[in-house]
Structure formats: C-alpha cells, structure tokens
Structure 1
Amino acid sequence: MKTSFKGILPILLSIFLVVSCSRKKDKFINRNFHAVTAEFNTLYNGYNALEEGRSSLNEAYFDNYWEVLPIERMQVFEDMVLPGQSKNESFSRAEEKATKTIQKHSMNIGGKEKNPQIDEAYLLLGKARYFDQRFIPALEAFNYILYKYPASDKINQAKVWREKANIRLDNDELAIKNLKRLLEQEELEKQDLADATSILAQAYLNTKSIDSAITQLEIASNATKSNDERGRYRFIQGQLYNELGYKDSANIAFDKVIELNRKTPRIYMITAYLEKIKNFDYENGNKLEASELLTELEENRENRPFLDKIYHQIGTFHLNNNSDSLAVAYYNKSLRTNSRDKFLKAKNYEILGDMNFDTSVYAEAGKYYDSTMINLELNSKPYRVIKRKRDNLEDVIYYEAIASTNDSILNLVNLSETERVAYFDSFIEKLKIKAEEEKEKAQAAERNSGLVTVNNTIGGPTQRAGAPNQAALFYFYNPTTVAYGKNEFVKTWGDRALEDDWRWSSKGVVGGTDNASVTADNLIASASDEEKFDPQFYISKIPSTEKEIDSISKDRNYAYYQLGLIYKEKFKEYELSKSKFENLLNSNPEERLILPSKYNLYKIYELLGENDEATIAKNDIISTYPESRYATILKNPELVSDKDENSPESLYEALYIQYQNQEYEDVISKSKNYINTFDGEPIVPKFELLKAIAIGRLYGYEAYGKAINNLAVTYANTLEGKQAQNIESNILPKLASKEFIAENDSVTNNYKVVFQFKNINLEEVANFQKTLDEVLENIRYYKLTSSIDVYNPETTFVIVHGLKTGTVARTFDQLLTKEDNKKIKTPYFVVTSTNYQIIQIHKNLDAYLNLDNN
C-alpha cells in the first residue's frame, strides 16, 4: 500500500502543477501560483538587478557642488545606443526579468489582467529602461500601466515615473501640469508624496522657477523616508536660497543638513559647512569663530576625504582677510590632495594666477593659467575666459624672458675677469650640490628597480636560463636614461617648446632669441663632465665680439620697448611701463627707439600726474626733434584727431587701397618708408604683412616665402606674426607645386583668354580693356567679362572670363564680328583657371608657353 502511494504522489503533483500553470483559467490556484512565482522569482531577481545598477550609477556619479545639484543622481550621456544594446548590464538584466514575467505569468482573460503582479512587472520594465537612458521606451511602459491598470496600487508611482521620463525628454511644462494635477486629485503620502514633489521641484528648476522649486523641496524633505534624500533636498534648498541672494535662509537650510550628521552622506554635511563659510560676513561676522570652525574641519580625521574642499575654503577665508601668504599655502595644499574635482583644481590655479597677475608677476601668472585650462572643459565659457587672459600674457612673458636672459648675459660681459671667476665658482658649487642630490636619487631608483625586479619575478614568468639580468622598469621610468635622452635632445635641437612642427628652423629657443640661446641649461647639457665643473668653460662662452654684444643689446632694448608698450596699453601698469622706458633710454638704444620711447614716457607722466616730468619730456621732444610727427602733435594737440591724414592708421588705409588697385611697387616702396618712420609702433607688423603680400603678388612664391618668414621671426608674438607663421606652416606647402595640370574639358570647365602687355603704361592697358568690354557686349550666347592683372613689374595681363570649354576659348577670335575683330589685334593665349593660378604664384609664364597647349 505504501509503495503504491509513493508512486502515485509524483503523478498527482505533476497534474497539480500542469493545472495550476495554465494562464488561460481564472482559478484561485492559477492566479496565486503565477502571482507568487512572479513576485518571488523573476521580479525579485529583476529588482535586485535594478538596485545593483542604481548602486553602480551612484558610485560612478560625481556631484558638481559648484552648481545647483540635480534632484536625482544620474549622469545622462549624449552618445547614442543602438537597439538591443545597453549602457549597463544590470539594467539589461532587470528589463529581461520584467519581460520574462510578462511573457510567462501574464493572465489576460476576457480583456482583464488576473495576475496582480503584472503591473509591477511593467513598472520594473519602465524603471530599467529609464535608468538605461532609453526614455521613450520607458515612457511607453509607464503609459501602458496607466492605460491597462487604472485600478492598480502602483498607479501613482507610474504617474510620477512617467513625469520623470518626460523631464528627461525636456517636456518640463507637461510634467509640471501632470504632477500638479496628481497632487490636487490624490492624497499622496510619505514616499509617494516625496517622489512627486521632488521631481516637480526638478521641473521647476529646469524652467527657472526657483521659488516654486524651494517650496516643493520643503514638502519632499518632510515626506521622504530616506535621510540620504532629505540631506540632498535640504542642501539644494540652501543652494537655491543662495542663488536668490537670501543668505540667512540658505544658512538655515544648511544647518538642517548639518543636524542630520551621520544620518546622511558626510559630503552633504561638509559642503554645507563650507557653503555657510562662503556666506560669512567679513565686515561684521565673528572671524575668530569662523577660523576655529575651519580649523576643526581641517583637523577632524573623518574629513580627510574632503580636505581638498576644506583647504580651498580656508585659502579663500585667508584671502578675504588679506592674508595672502596663508591663502597661497592653503591653495597649494588643496592642489596637493590630488582632488577628483577638476573644477576645484582649476579654481585653485586660477586664483593663484590672479594673485600673481595682480602683483604684476606675469610669467608665473601665465603658468597658473596654463594649469587652469588643463582642468577645464575645452571650449567651455570658463575655458575661453582663461584663454583670453593667457593670450594677453603671451607677449609680456616672451619679451620678459628675452630681457631677463640678455640682461644676465650683458651683466657677465661687464664683469671683470676676477668677478667672472668668482661668479662661476659660486655657480659650480650649487651645480655640485645638485649633481650629488641627483646621484642619490639615481641610486635610490636603482635599489627600487631591484626590488621591482624581484617582485615581478615572484609568481611571474621565469627568466630564460643564461639570459642577462634585465631591469624590470620601463626605460622612461629610469631617471638616468631620461636625463641622458634630455641632454642628447638639447645638444641636437636646443631648448624647444612642445608644439607642432617643432623641428622647423623658425621654432627657436624657448623664451629667447638666437643671441640668448647660450643659457646655463644648454651649456650644462652640452658640456663634458670635466667642462661642467670648470669656470673657464663658462667664461669662454661669454660673448666677446662687438657684433655679438651689440646684437644682444639691441634685442634687449627692443624687448624693453615692447614691454613698455604692453604694460602701458594692455595692462595700464604705468609704473612698470615707466621703468621699462627709462631703462631703455639709459641703455644706449638705437635711434629709432628713442623718440617713441620719450613720447610714451611723456604720456605716462601725464597719466601718473607727474606734471614736471611731463613738461621736461615735452620740451625735450619739441627742441630735439622739431620736425617729427610727435613734435607736431605736442605743439598742436587740438589739430590732431584719430583720423589725421598723417596718422599711421590713415596712411595704412590709403596704402591698402593702392594694394587693391594692384599698385604693388608703390605699396612695397611706401611700406618700407612707413616701417622706418613708425618703427617700434604697434602698426608696423601690419605694414610688414601688407608689404609681404604685395611682394608675393609682384615677384612670386619664393620672394613671398622669404618675406613671410622674416615677418614670422621678427614679429613672432604679434597677431600678424602668428598669421605669418600659419601661412608658412600650412599655406605655403600647399602652393609649392609648379607642375601644370593637363588641360581637359572633362577636368575643368573654366578657361581664361589672356592678352599680354609688356613695358607699356597702365593708361594704354585701360584703353584696351575699355575696347575689349565693348566687343564682349556684342558676343551672343556667352556672358563674358574682363579684368586687369599685374604679372610682374614689366608685364600686365588683360583677362577674359566666362569661357567653359577649351575649344571655344582657343577660337575666341571667331566669336567676334568682322568689325570687332579689327579692333582686337593683340595676340592672346588660353589657360585654365588652375594653371593661371600657378603662373601667377610661381611667375613661370615662359614655362607654360613652351608647352604644347597654345
């Protein structure tokens, strides 16, 4: 009997399972079997996967406390995801479980869903898609719940999540409308109320309705069960009050965050303290109390992960109290924490740069601005602001480097032999100390490399028997190898900036001219071990010939002049500018720099209110240079205007008009005169560029290349000099080819008929063009025009444009009537537009005419 029962029991259980597994019967057993299986199997696993994905999102997300925080911690990526792909496998798995629940456990009988867990499955499906940033499919899932399950206990959650998806799709107005209706029609409580009001606050934030957002966050903070959310909502409230300028209300909100203490993430509490310090009243507040609070935050061991922010705020506190040295120390401390917050690092560098800028230490300021830009998003607004500052410093850093280097060289030139030996003895002592330190570092590195080798051998691949013992370190990590490589590079190439096209000859020594290239670093790099510690080696490198010394002195004086102009015009640093011009005038400058320097000094004395000095400078200019433009200006200031016909600007405009009229010889000649007349003034590079272009148009590629190279080297840090560098690097190589292109109607549809005139005046050429234009008007079926082009000083072209085929162009005379043919007797040749451009660039007309094209 027992045996027969054991055999029947499995059969009965199988029949029970088969009957209960049916999704077509609306029976108690069927409904509960599928509900329980769905809830405790697929949905349970699906929600576990969802929570796993959310945790990874939160861990990866980095809040930017420099801006108002978003309500929800989720980074939205702009990159597209193809169908079937997922940004996170956990969400993909959660979606798969939700889909499986719907497919295997849905009991849609008579148009009604009998399984109470299916609405939960659709909610899971929508959430998984939402966090996977597929917002439109997520919206479809939430809408399906609202459409199919209006009586579901999840209906309010579905409505809230639908509006979250709408907000992510930038449908903020629709979300506000739907959420307000939900709050009016339903009595939401606890977490549902917190979710609805918090997401409504986000919609208000997106539409810049800050007051309404604060109100909804207050409701959400009181309703939520999660202290994590409460701390975040209170902190955002404080940020919003700060945006509105209500510092007292902001501090109350931050105090509520601080009261939560360990119940909420510590970052909220620490940042709340720091935000309160930012709101500190430096005129009426208790500075001792604020200082003690910052010290307490700094010394608390639990705050070590947040020292980057704490040090920065302490630095700002000291800066506002005019304790600059303490501020610098703490900003540097903040930087040494290796913070993940790139904007914080950028802020530290920017403040340090501004402090150096305000004290006129422009070279150091430039370095800090460079570091600032590295930590900012490329081409963002903050990046562009800093880049503009840095660009303004480019010239002053460049010329300060030249002035400093050449001053040092000239000081050595003026020392006696005994003084030189004493100077270099002191220099070599420092060099020996530095060499000893580097030797100790190298020995320590070798010892460490041995340890690394041992560690790598243990548990790693065994070394081949008999093979030499090789260092495990990558060779770039070996300081000896790196030092050798640096020395070899400097010996071969000199000290060159890290930039594109660094091997071009125009890319000289960083921060100096050719005369200043013999710097200590270069000499040390090129010296042997014996020479390196021999004073006579360095003394032998000091310039000794009059030509070398004069060249260095001229470069130094020109740098002084440029610095004087930059400090005066760009930075309004009149004292600095005055010192540069005075140093220049005391350094036996070239004649061309004396007068403009004296005039600029006169203007600076006026601006500084030093009237006696201004009067002396004015009288000196008028008496010493009575015929100069400056003397005219000083004697008759009321007659001078910005558009004075003799001003550099007016002369340049007139010369440019001549260039447009192809009067290239005049442009070149006058440019040379104006460059000498206005030497040292900012407009000179403009004349140089105009002259270079005119030379190119008149004499061709090679002459143009030389003129552009001269401009790029001589005026490297001006706008025109940089333009010339770009032409030299990027445009000239594209124009270098002299090869003519085969003339074929299938290749081109633009031909020119060219009439050539040699050694005749422009009036005759103009008369011929006038006759030609009359003839062209009589030609039927073709719309032709003419122009005059200068080829070289002896040759001028008259061009006919508008011919589309070579055959028609070569039989141009056959298009004319008999009467018109008699008027046009000058011979012509035909050329394609491309080949005509090559002829004008390289001035190789004879080479073209020798081809079999005409």
Structure 2
Amino acid sequence: MNTSLKPLLYLFCAALFVSSCSRKKNTFVNRNFHALGTKYNILYNGNIALEKGRESVDDASTDNFWELLPIERMQLMDEVVLPGQSKNQDFERAEEKAIKAVQKHGMNIKGKEYNPQIDEAYLLLGEARYFDQRFVPALEAFNYILYKYPASDKINTAKVWREKTNIRLDNNELAIKNLKRLLEQEELEDQDLADATSMLAQAYINIKAKDSALTQLNIAAEYTKKNKEKARYNYIIGQLYNEFGDKDSANIAFDKIIDMHRKIPRPYYINAHLAKATNFDFDNGNKLEFIEYLTDLEEDRENRPFLDKIYYRIAEYHRTNQSDTIAEAYYNKSLRTNTEDKNLRSLNYSTLGDMSFDKAQYKEAGAYYDSTMNNMKLNSKPYRIVKRKRENLDDVIYYEAIAQTNDSILNLVSLSEADRLTVFTEYTNKLKEEAKALKEKEEAAKRTNTGLATINNNAVNKSLRADPTSKNGKQKFYFYNQTTVSYGKNEFVKIWGDRELKDNWRISDARKSLASNQQNDVASIASDEERYDPNFYISKIPSDQKVIDSIAKERNLAYYRLGSIYKEKFKEYELAKDKLQKLLNNNPEERLILPSKYNLYKIYMEMNLIDEAEIAKNDILNNYSDSRYAEILRNPQSGLAKDENSPESLYEALYDQYSKEEYAQVINKAETYITQFEGELIVPKFEILKASAKGRLFGFNAYKESVNFIALNYPNSEEGKRAQEIIKSVIPVLAKKEFSSNDDTKHFNVLYPFNANAAEEINDFVKKLDDAVSKVSHFNLTTSIDVYDDKTKFVVVHGLTSIQGASGFAEILKENKHKIDRLFYAISSPNYEIVQRHKNLNEYLESQ
C-alpha cells in the first residue's frame, strides 16, 4: 500500500510545484512561493552585492576635513558612462538581481502586482543605479515605485531616495519642496526621518541657506541609528557653527563626536579633536593645559596614522604663541610623515614660505611657494594667489642677490691690505680643512668598499652557482646584485650627501657653506695651487674706480627697487624702510635721493611714525621745493595720478604720440624719461614703447634688438616677461621677409612716397586724392598716411583687388581732371607689410 502511494505522492508534489511557479495565477501558494524566492534568494544576494559596492565606494572616497563635508560620503566621478554600462561590478550585480526578481518573480496580473517583494526589487534597482552614479535611470526606478506601489511600506524610503537623486541632479529647489511636504504630511520612522532631514540639509547647503541646513542636521543627528552618520552630521554641525563664528556651539558638537570614541571611525574622532583645538582661545585659555592636550594626542599610539595633522596643529599653536623655531620644526615633521593630504602639504609649505619671507630668506621662500603650488589645484583661486606672490618674489630674489653680492665686494674693497689678507687666509684655511676631510672620507669609503666587495664577491659567487641564467659559471656584473647596489647607495649618501651629477662633484657642493658666493665663484675657476693662495683672491678684488663706482651704482639701484617692491607689492613697510634708509646712507646718485625720501615719507605715514614723516616732508619741501613731490605734499588732493609731470601721466601722453605715428619724438622722449625715472617700476613700460616705435621707424632688426635688451635687462618685470615671449614666439614669424606672389592675394595698395618733413605738401595731396577716390563707386577705397622711415612717408590708397588694377588706377588719376601725376608703387597688402617691417622697398622693386 505504502509503496503504491509513493509515485502518486511524488506526482502530486511535482504538480503542486509546477502550479506554484505560475506568475499568472493569483493563489495563496503562488504569491508566497514567489515572495519567498524573491526575498530570501534574489534580493538577499542583491542586497549583499549592494552593501559590498557601498563599502568599496566608501573606501574610495577621501573626506577633505579642511572644507565643509558633504552629507553623504560618496565621491562623484568625472567619467562618462554610456547606457547599459556600469562603473562597479557589485552594483551591476545588484541591478541584475533586481531585474531578475521583476522578470522571474513578478506577478503583474491585469495591471496589479501580487508579489509584495517587487517594490523592494525596484528600490534595490534604484539604489544600485544611484551608487553607480547613473542618476537619471535611478530616478526612473524610484518614480516607478511611487507610481505603481503607493501602498508600499517602502513608499517613504522611496520618496527620500528620489529627492537624494534630485539633489545629485542639481534639482535642489524641487528636492526641498518635496522633502518639506513629506515631513509635514507623514510621520516618519527614526531612520527615515534622519535620512529625509539630512538630505534636506544638503539641499539647503547647496543653495547657500546654511542656517536652515543647521536646523535639519540637528534633527538628523538626533534620530539616526547609525553611529557613523551621527558622527558625520555632528562634525558638519560643528563646521557650520565655526562658519557662523559660534565656537562654543561648534565645540559642543565636536565633543559629542569625541564622546563616541571607539564607536565611530577614527578619522572623525581625531579631526573632531583637531577642530576643537583650532577653536582654542589664546587670549583667555589655559595654554599649559592646551599644549598637554596636544601632546597627549601626539603620543597616543593609535593616532600614528594622523600625526601629519597633529604635528600641523601643534605647529600652528607654537606659531600663534610666537615660538617660530618650534613651529618650523613641527611643520617639517608634518611634511616628513609623507602625508597624502595635499591640502595639508600646501598649508605646511605655504606657511614655511611666509616664515622664510619674514626672515628675508627669499630663495627658501620661493622654493616653499613652488612646493605649495605643486600641491594645489591648478588655476584655482588659491593657486593664483600663491603664483602671483611667487612671481613677485622673483624680483626680490633677483635684486637681493645683486645687493648682497655688491655689498660683499664693496666691503672687500674698503678693507686694508692686512685685513684682506686676514679674511682670505681664514677662507683658504677652511678650504684646506674641508679638502682634508674630504680626502679622509674618500679613503674611508675606499676601505669600506674594498671590504664590501670581498663580502659581496663571495655572495655573488654563491648566487651564481645557484643561478641557472649565468653561463659557464662566469660571474655577472656586480651591479646586478641588488644587495650590493642598495648598500652602496646608502653608503654614498652617508658620506657625500645628495650630490648632483656633474663634473667635479666631490668639491662642487663642499664649498657651499664658505664665506660668500663671490669667493666660491672665484674658487671654482682657480687651479689647485691658486685655490689655497690668499693672494689669488686678493688679486680679484676690483681696484679700478670706474668699476667700483659701477658696482656701487648697481647696488644702490637694487636697494631702491627693493624698497619700492616691498612697499608697493608686499606692503612690508619695515623692510621697505630699511632698504631705502640704507640707500640714502650709501651716497646714492642724485636721481634716487628725492624719490627715496618721498617713499620713506609715505612709509612713515603707513607705519604711523608721525614725527619721522614730518621730518621727511619738511626736508622735501625745503630742499626740493620745485619738484613734483613737493607739489604733491603741498596739495595732496591733486594726487600723483593727476600730476601732469608724474611718470604715469607722461607715459599716457607719450602713448598718444605713438598712436599718432610720431615715432621719432616717442623714441627721443622715452630715452629722456628712462634716464629721468631710472629705478622706478614704470621704466620698462617706456622701454617697450620705445622698442615698438623703433620697430615702426627703423624696421625689424631695430625692434628685435630693443626687445632683446628689455628681456635681458628687465627679466622680472611684466614687460621683460612679455619681451621673452615675443622673442620666443613672435620674432620668428616677423623675421620672414620673402615676398609673396601677387596671384595669391586679393588686396592691393598704391603707394605715393613723400619727404617725411613735407607735412603741408602731404596734406594738400591727401585732400586732392580723397576727392578723386570719393568718385569711385565700384571699389571701397580708403586712404592713409603711413610712416616708412625717418625720411619717408607714404600716402596709401587701400582697397584695390589686383596688381594691374592698382597700377591702372594710378594711371587713370594722372589723366583725369585731378591730374595726380606722382611717382607711385603698386603692391599687395602682404608684401606691403613685409616692406614696412623690414624697410626693404628697394628689394621689392628689384624683384618685380
């Protein structure tokens, strides 16, 4: 009986299973079969894949705690993804599972879905697309839930996700409207409430309504059940309070994070400590307790991954406390952690650069600013600020080097023969000591390397015996042994330091710490015998009074320019005052005395040194009463810019003359002004205007020579840099002087040459020519007066379309009632440009 019933029982179960697989019959068995299969198989695996993908996104995202954190930790990618593609395999798998749940287990019968798990499948589909940063398809999935499943228990979650997606699509106003309506109409569960309010806060932050965001974030931080989110929300709250200037409220938010300690990721805990430390009140706080607090953070072994930021915060404390030496040490310790935080590196380098600048260590400051820019986003606003500061520093480095070099030379000139001998005897003795030390190091290295070679040869022999790649038992080159190479590199650095690959490398860097750059330069060209002879160096000291005067003149000019740069560009009035006072004490040229005294007066006023300013003012009024500076002091309302004798006004007037093609006058006046205002920042402007006038009057070679002069003599000015760019990219183009074929152009001119001084004759001719041209209706003809050189001007007719037409037009003018019978040349517009540029009219005429 039992045996006969078994086949029937199996058949019944099989029929039951087959009937329950149907997605078109709304029965209890069918609904529960597909619901269980969807929930515990497909959606289970899909959610595992989603969480795995979210963890990878979380790991890939790096929070920038220097800026306001985003509410959601997800780094947006710039990659363009085509439809059907995915950035993350886990999200792709989650999406496939969601689609499979809908396709295999959906029970859509007559427009109604009977599988209660399908809404969660669509939610999984939307979330997978959202984290894969395909926001438009994600929005479609969430909207489908809201449209097809209004009674779903996930409806509020779907609404929150839809607004998260809208925010990612920059639909912030729409998201705010929908989230506010959701909060007003629905009583959300704790986590849904936290998600909704946090996203509402992000939308408010995006539209710059940060006070409204703060209110919503406080709600989100209170109701979220996830400690990681609670810490993040509180940190953003603290950041917002800091932006509002409410440090006490900010510290309360940071304390909430600190109290969570091991319940949250370590970065939130450490950065909360550091953010709270940033808010320390240096005026009223207990500095002893505060430095102990920072020291505890530094010494905690768990904080080792964050020592870069801790060192930076300690450095900031010491710098604010005016302990610059300790601060500098900690900034360097922060950098030596090899931190990957580019913001932190840029802050360290920038601060070290500012500190070096304040100590007048300009080369070091320039190097620090270079490193700062390497760690900043290219062409960002902070990058441009540092770049401008670095470019201004070029001038300081250049002129400081001149001042220091020439001061050193003049100091040697002023010494007696006995004092000179003493100085250079000490110098050569140091050279001998250093040479002896170097020799001892070389011998020690040689002994070490000999022993090392013996050891390594044995090791190599052993390795070769076991090395199947060695042929016939022959030894390989010893550099192939990585142990030998590594040891050798380390020993070299210990003995010689980091050396540049160049000739005479043993002695090149060893002399960097010697008395002065001038001595080093002389020593580098000396023979071995001369290098240790004091009289060799003494013989190099200039004795010709003209040379000495030239060195003193160059030094004084450098001091003046440094004073101007510190005053105008950096507002470093103490440094500017020091340079200008040194200049006046060094018997400067007459032309530098008055502008230096006036600049000192302005500096005294800026520094509120009223008595010194009054003395400087009276000096100018009494001893230079006819000068423009005295006039400005007598009538301050006129201002330097309104003074018709100011360099700026003179430059504007000269430029007007240039526009009127009065090139000879421009050249002569520019030379006068360059001499008159030598040392002032406007001089390169006069130079480049003179170069342009020379080019117009004398041609390409004169222009090239003048531009090259500007590039060499004013390399750090804007005009000097522009001249360097002209030499690089413009001069090669202008150098072309080959004439083009008349068949290759459509624009031609007629030239009538005149003596450059025949102004009245030219004007009468132009009137007659304009009258004749006005009668020609089938061409758009115009006339102009162009300077050719200092002896010749051209009256030019423009607008003709062929070389024959140009010649024919001039011939017609000879015979009509105007009787314009003068020598003329027909020429194409491109060839006319070449003739004007190279002043080679005769070459052109000979080529025709």
- Do these two structures clear the TM 0.5 threshold for a shared fold by scoring above it? yes
What is the CA–CA distance in structure 1 between the aligned matches of 2:142 and 2:37, rounded to whole Å?
Answer: 23
Number of the residue aligned with 2:391: 391
What is the CA–CA distance in structure 2 between the aligned matches of 1:456 and 1:370, rounded to whole Å?
Answer: 47
Q: Which moved more, 1:783-792 or 1:607-616?
A: 607-616
3-state SS of paired residue (1:416): helix
Seen in structure 2, the aligned counterparts of structure 1 residues 784 and 293 have a Cα distance that, compared at 3 Å, is same
What is the CA–CA distance in structure 1 between the aligned matches of 2:446 and 2:760, rounded to whole Å?
Answer: 79
What is the CA–CA distance in structure 1 between the aligned matches of 2:308 and 2:376, rounded to whole Å?
Answer: 17
Matched residue type, 1:761: A
Number of the residue aligned with 1:144: 144
Contact 2:684 2:719 in 1 (8 A): yes
Seen in structure 2, the aligned counterparts of structure 1 residues 643 and 251 have a Cα distance that, compared at 3 Å, is closer
Number of the residue aligned with 2:406: 406
What is the CA–CA distance in structure 1 between the aligned matches of 2:352 and 2:497, rounded to whole Å?
Answer: 34
Matched residue type, 1:610: E
Quote the offset at 1:6 in angstroms.
9.5
What is the CA–CA distance in structure 1 between the aligned matches of 2:47 and 2:366, rounded to whole Å?
Answer: 53
Given candidates 479, 482, 506, the residue that maps to 1:470 is 479
Contact 2:748 2:803 in 1 (8 A): yes
What is the CA–CA distance in structure 2 between the aligned matches of 1:523 and 1:90, rounded to whole Å?
Answer: 68
Seen in structure 2, the aligned counterparts of structure 1 residues 306 and 532 have a Cα distance that, compared at 3 Å, is farther
Number of the residue aligned with 2:760: 763
Number of the residue aligned with 2:316: 316
Question: Matches of residues 164-203 of structure 1 in structure 2 within 5 Å?
Answer: 164-203=164-203
Quote the offset at 1:594 in angstroms.
5.2
Number of the residue aligned with 1:834: 830
Seen in structure 2, the aligned counterparts of structure 1 residues 641 and 156 have a Cα distance that, compared at 3 Å, is closer
Contact 2:227 2:263 in 1 (8 A): yes
Number of the residue aligned with 1:790: 787
Matched residue type, 2:693: A
Quote the offset at 1:600 in angstroms.
5.0
Number of the residue aligned with 1:77: 77
Question: Is 1:204 matched with 2:213?
Answer: no
Matched residue type, 1:839: V
Question: Matches of residues 280-359 of structure 1 in structure 2 within 5 Å?
Answer: 280-359=280-359
What is the CA–CA distance in structure 1 between the aligned matches of 2:807 and 2:603, rounded to whole Å?
Answer: 67
Question: Matches of residues 653-672 of structure 1 in structure 2 within 5 Å?
Answer: 653-672=652-671
Contact 1:789 1:799 in 2 (8 A): yes
Seen in structure 2, the aligned counterparts of structure 1 residues 290 and 51 have a Cα distance that, compared at 3 Å, is same
What is the CA–CA distance in structure 1 between the aligned matches of 2:517 and 2:711, rounded to whole Å?
Answer: 18
Quote the offset at 1:164 in angstroms.
0.3
Matched residue type, 1:313: R
Number of the residue aligned with 2:512: none
What is the CA–CA distance in structure 2 between the aligned matches of 1:44 and 1:192, rounded to whole Å?
Answer: 21
3-state SS of paired residue (2:754): strand
Q: Which moved more, 1:355-364 or 1:107-116?
A: 355-364
Quote the offset at 1:459 in angstroms.
11
What is the CA–CA distance in structure 2 between the aligned matches of 1:90 and 1:527, rounded to whole Å?
Answer: 71
Seen in structure 2, the aligned counterparts of structure 1 residues 680 and 234 have a Cα distance that, compared at 3 Å, is closer
Contact 1:412 1:542 in 2 (8 A): no
Quote the offset at 1:346 in angstroms.
1.9
Matched residue type, 2:697: L
Seen in structure 2, the aligned counterparts of structure 1 residues 285 and 679 have a Cα distance that, compared at 3 Å, is closer
* 1:732-765 Cα deviation digits (max 9, x unpaired): 1222221222233xx4433323222346513222
3-state SS of paired residue (1:793): coil
Number of the residue aligned with 2:612: 610
* 1:471-527 Cα deviation digits (max 9, x unpaired): 456999997998463448999xx99xxxxxxxxxxxxxxxxxxxx996727955x77
Matched residue type, 1:419: V
Question: Matches of residues 446-461 of structure 1 in structure 2 within 5 Å?
Answer: none
Question: Matches of residues 673-822 of structure 1 in structure 2 within 5 Å?
Answer: 673-744=672-743, 747-758=744-755, 761-806=758-803, 808-813=805-810, 819-820=816-817, 822=818
Between Structure 1 and Structure 2, how many residues are aligned?
A: 821
Question: Is 1:424 matched with 2:428?
Answer: yes
3-state SS of paired residue (2:742): coil
Contact 2:559 2:582 in 1 (8 A): yes
Contact 1:643 1:649 in 2 (8 A): no
What is the CA–CA distance in structure 2 between the aligned matches of 1:459 and 1:185, rounded to whole Å?
Answer: 80
Number of the residue aligned with 1:485: 501
What is the CA–CA distance in structure 1 between the aligned matches of 2:559 and 2:214, rounded to whole Å?
Answer: 58
Quote the offset at 1:437 in angstroms.
6.9
Q: Which moved more, 1:95-104 or 1:435-444?
A: 435-444
Quote the offset at 1:577 in angstroms.
3.6
Contact 1:621 1:631 in 2 (8 A): no
Quote the offset at 1:709 in angstroms.
0.9
3-state SS of paired residue (1:87): coil
Matched residue type, 2:202: Q
Seen in structure 2, the aligned counterparts of structure 1 residues 548 and 457 have a Cα distance that, compared at 3 Å, is farther
* 1:522-545 Cα deviation digits (max 9, x unpaired): 955x778x5797456973893546
Quote the offset at 1:567 in angstroms.
3.2
Matched residue type, 2:250: A
Question: Matches of residues 495-510 of structure 1 in structure 2 within 5 Å?
Answer: none
Seen in structure 2, the aligned counterparts of structure 1 residues 432 and 265 have a Cα distance that, compared at 3 Å, is farther
Q: Which moved more, 1:256-265 or 1:843-852?
A: 843-852
Contact 1:603 1:614 in 2 (8 A): no
Taking structure 2 as the reference length, what is the TM-score of the superposition?
0.86
Quote the offset at 1:95 in angstroms.
1.9
What is the CA–CA distance in structure 2 between the aligned matches of 1:431 and 1:242, rounded to whole Å?
Answer: 59
Quote the offset at 1:124 in angstroms.
1.4
Number of the residue aligned with 2:842: 846
Q: List alignment gaps of at least 5 residues for structure 1.
A: 496-515
What is the CA–CA distance in structure 1 between the aligned matches of 2:732 and 2:446, rounded to whole Å?
Answer: 46
Number of the residue aligned with 2:513: none
* 1:372-397 Cα deviation digits (max 9, x unpaired): 22222122222222233333333122
Identical columns (%): 56
Question: Is 1:265 matched with 2:265?
Answer: yes
Contact 1:602 1:617 in 2 (8 A): no
Number of the residue aligned with 1:513: none
* 1:657-686 Cα deviation digits (max 9, x unpaired): 221111111211222222222222332222
* 1:54-94 Cα deviation digits (max 9, x unpaired): 11111121111122211100111334222233332322222
Seen in structure 2, the aligned counterparts of structure 1 residues 263 and 12 have a Cα distance that, compared at 3 Å, is same
3-state SS of paired residue (2:796): strand
Q: CA RMSD in A?
A: 4.1
Q: Which moved more, 1:544-553 or 1:723-732?
A: 544-553
Number of the residue aligned with 1:68: 68
* 1:775-834 Cα deviation digits (max 9, x unpaired): 1111112222111111111221122223345554343247769535x4322243333332
Number of the residue aligned with 1:508: none
Seen in structure 2, the aligned counterparts of structure 1 residues 614 and 112 have a Cα distance that, compared at 3 Å, is closer
Question: Matches of residues 241-260 of structure 1 in structure 2 within 5 Å?
Answer: 241-260=241-260
Seen in structure 2, the aligned counterparts of structure 1 residues 23 and 432 have a Cα distance that, compared at 3 Å, is farther
What is the CA–CA distance in structure 2 between the aligned matches of 1:294 and 1:73, rounded to whole Å?
Answer: 28
Contact 1:599 1:621 in 2 (8 A): no
